Amino acid sequence: MQTSLFAIANVIGLLGLSGVICFSILLLISFLSNKKTLFLIFALFFSFSLFALGTLMVPGENKILEKVPSKEAILQRARENESQGFLQKAEKDYQKLLELAPLDSDAQEGLGRIKREEFARNLFREGRKCIRKEVYGKALSNFLLAQSLTSNSELKKEIKGKVLMIHNMLEKK
């Protein structure tokens, strides 16, 4: 929205500026040749109004650019989302960062952490399904692999509980 408004304002401003220049030249020529100039004065005023409208229509390039977050701001937001467990938001921010700087190691590492965490969560879900199906060996291997991949302390606690539960179940058999 801001970009299209900015483009429209630029076009209006350029039309007005062009009109100001053209009608100023024509007004000067008409003064020099002693011809009636009322129409030219009106046209000059109209062109100047267009130019003013175009320049006042949007806050200006600097203010629009200020609203575009910097690379550092995107990285900070991605890390905050990641630490709070909002992995999808963090992933979008890391991807946006890679669009701006494709070789950014912080963004690449962040995406790697997120993918590892997602994989660990999937393994945890699969482990729970295996418990319901009473396939304890596969459940145990899924939980242990998930535990080695995750950095989420809450998930690690849940995994530890599931592993203990499986050990207890296997000991009873």
Place of tokens 């009608």: 23
Handedness of CA 83, 88, 90, 91 (dihedral sign): positive
- pLDDT value for 70: 84
Least reliable range by pLDDT among 4-8, 141-145, 159-163: 4-8
Tell me, what amino acid is at 79? R
**Domain ranges across the chain:** 2-67, 71-172
For the chain, what is the radius of gyration of the CA atoms?
32
For residue 95, the 8-state DSSP code is H
Place of tokens 């952490």: 113
- pLDDT value for 92: 95
> Greater confidence, 37 or 59?
37
Cα–Cα–Cα angle for 76, 5, 61, rounded to 5 degrees: 55
CATH 1.20.58 fits 71-172, yes or no: yes
- pLDDT value for 169: 84
Q: Model confidence over 68-89: pLDDT tens digits? A: 688 899 999 999 999 888 999 9
Position 172 confidence tier, pLDDT thresholds 50, 70, 90 = confident
> Greater confidence, 145 or 64?
145
Q: Model confidence over 86-124: pLDDT tens digits? A: 999 999 999 999 998 889 999 999 999 999 999 999 999
Tell me what the pLDDT averaged over the chain comes to.
80
